[in-house]
Amino acid sequence: MNPPLLRIRLLGGFRLERDGGAPLAERWSRPSARTLVKLLAIAPGHQLHREQLMGACWPHAELPAALRSLRVALHAARHALEPELPPRAVSSYLTGDGALLRLAPDAVWIDIDHAGSLARQALADGGARGLAAALEALNGELLPEDPYATWAAPPRERLRQLRDQVRGALSRAQTAPARGTPGEEAAPPEADAARVRLDWALALDRSGRYGEAIGVLQEALASYERQGRRDACVLAAARLAEVLCRSRTGQEALAVLDAHPPGPGTPDEVWAAHRMARSAVLSYTGRYEEALAAARAAQRSAEAARGPDRPVLLARSLAQQTVCLGLSGRSGEATGPAERALAPAEESGDPALLATVLSVLRESARRAGRHRQALEYGRRALALAEQAGRPTATAFERANLAELHLLLGERDDAERLARAAVELAEPFGATALAFALVALARVRHAPDPAGSVRLLDRAERCAEEGGHLQAIDARR
């Protein structure tokens, strides 16, 4: 028998309803249980690793204490959502899968999912009635009772952007001249729908859902091709290529870039995005000198750009140069570009980008033997990756911090972080898991050489699956 549908409302304030079943308590026994459900409700895919939840709810607690607090909060949350749940029974709504916790998709309805679906459909259809209904569904502030919660900032910004797109499309639909056929109120604002897809794909990419991100980006690219918008095609192709090289092959990614090159009159920021994507793909396939040249060209284009994306593009191109210099054995030249990337990354206000730049600075400091400084950069990068809800980036940062602790002789911290990295990377496999396995193998090399070799063999298989030669180089 299916459980009653649980409805979670976040717009205008957190509240719960059920279509039947025992009445839900108005008060929660533990505030942390309530926060835990909120975090899952706003997370991409409505799932989070246990350590992400611990980091958000108990950021200053030691691991054993945080684990105890999580167990208590989980128990309280499950019984708040399902008061009739017998002891030790499996929850219908809040389930676990290894280290991941999630809200059951078939049993839980969430208002921001419903509103987002209405908005994307309305933008694709273009009718004023559907756009007005979508705008109404998007009405209300997300979790107004948590105004200063950093974990609520990214979904608030995504909702704001979606509202602006729907509002603009509705204004155009209402002012467009009527057409002869009933129901054809205005030309479908396909450009708005494609833009929504680009924004949604970025969220999917950052949450490690590469297959879904690829599908959404391919839809956006096809839409821009139908509209004949060449520059928009170049930008969509650049974003698609970067996801493809992380999850499929560099050859496929380069083919997408070659099929949609910039042309005369292409804006500098679009040129920068194209060259940045090419550098990323070349780096992933081990062509570091070519990648460095492309990153430097991307920097020149970013410096000439005047749009709002200028700080992002400038920070990314400088950080990418550091990566390429380090991987090509020119570590002495790598620090300068990384340090220059920090200011534009902070200016961008994007925690995910700042985490990337700090990660690059961490690696430069490690190569220079400044291990304590590298540890400081790595800890900041890890906190930002967790804040941005990026599980694969979080796993990567934990793996690198584990290796730093190992270099400093702090084996217990190294083991804890390496194991946490592998657990978090397991569901994603490929490149993310390869890096985590390499870190764990290095930590365990001295006490268990045979086990370390098995971990490295598995890491190589994962790296080959992801087509990431940098990860294979790390294994060796």
The alpha carbon of residue 377 and the mean position of all alpha carbons in its chain are separated, in whole angstroms, by: 20
Beta bridge partner(s), residue 9: 15
Mean per-residue pLDDT, 92-103:
87
Mean per-residue pLDDT, 181-195:
53
Overall pTM surpassing 0.95 (yes/no): no
Tens digits of residue pLDDT in 287-321: 999 999 999 999 999 999 988 889 999 999 998 99
Q: Are 348 and 310 in contact (CB under 8 A)?
A: no
Mean per-residue pLDDT, 72-87:
91
Res. 35: pLDDT tops 80: yes
Tens digits of residue pLDDT in 317-352: 998 998 898 888 887 888 889 899 999 988 887 777
Selected residue with higher pLDDT from 329 and 278: 278
- In 10 A of CB 356, how many CB atoms? 24
User: How far, in Å, are 58, 272, 283, 381 from residue 335 at the CA level?
Assistant: 34, 22, 18, 17
Q: Percent of the chain at pLDDT above 90?
A: 37
Res. 404: pLDDT tops 60: yes
- The residue written with tokens 């611990």 in the block is 54
Residues 19 and 42: their CA atoms lie apart, in Å, by: 21
The angle at the Cα of 368, spanning 367 to 374, to the nearest 5 degrees, equals: 75
Could you tell me whether strands 47-49 and 100-103 are parallel, antiparallel, or unpaired per DSSP bridges? antiparallel
User: How far, in Å, are 228, 379, 395, 401, 433 from residue 425 at the CA level?
Assistant: 40, 18, 6, 15, 5
Tens digits of residue pLDDT in 105-128: 889 999 999 999 898 888 888 888
